[in-house]
Amino acid sequence: MVIVMGVVVLAEPLLWRFAPKLFPSQINAAIDAAAGGQNTEWYQVVPGSIYDGDTLRVERGGQELKVRLCGIDAPELKQAGGIESRDHLRSLVAQGDGAIGVVAVEKDQYKRTVADLFVIRPDGSEIHLNSQLVMDGMAYHYEKYSGSCPQPDVLVRAEEIAKEQSVGVWAKPNAEKPWEYRKQR
């Protein structure tokens, strides 16, 4: 999904076959509000720092942050879909110029900054990375940790779309969720 002057269009898919439905206008407004808000800080993505589908590093003026995307959980690298999720996040970030908008929410138990992330494409449209990954089936809505996210309803709707389309992680709805996988390790 890409927002172009308040209208949502689809970002180009990388590895999965799907054609998700567009977000309703009230969801577009929520995304626009978060992206354009005064709490958005702009950083550069640290090259090679996208290790998995829900964590990356950014830097600005010598300050580096490890960022966990708010309200989502991507498959672990050793799980089915883990590498695809990571590569999809890389492809979404690559659609921008390396700059990434960070709306910080809190610090997690590992001292990572939990945030909503946005990328601006060369044509001026933007991608809300959190919801795009969920809508593309590359991550789950992590309901347990989405309450403090700026727009958890967007993640709920994104997951509904992914489920309806049976894309990515929803191609096999009984697959082990990342939080269950980590409990067994």
Which residue of the set 60, 90, 112, 121 is catalytic?
112
To the query of whether residue 60 is one of the catalytic residues in this protein, the response is no
**Could you confirm whether 86 is annotated as catalytic?**
no
112 a catalytic residue = yes
Quick check: 151 and 182 in contact, CB under 8 A? no
Candidates 57, 76, 126, 159; catalytic one: 76
Locus of tokens 């996208």: 50
Per-residue CA distances from 35 to 3, 122, 173 (Å): 11, 16, 31
What backbone phi and psi angles, to 5 degrees, belong to 90?
Answer: -60, -45
| Alpha carbons 65 and 101: distance in angstroms, whole number | 13
Distance set, CA 93 to CA 105, 145, 177 (Å): 20, 23, 24
| Cα gap 87→144, rounded to integer Å | 25
- 172, exposed or middle or buried, with CB in 10 Å at 0-12, 13-18, 19+? exposed
Selection from 119, 125, 160, 113 nearest residue 140 by Cα: 160
User: Which residues are the active-site residues?
Assistant: 68, 76, 112
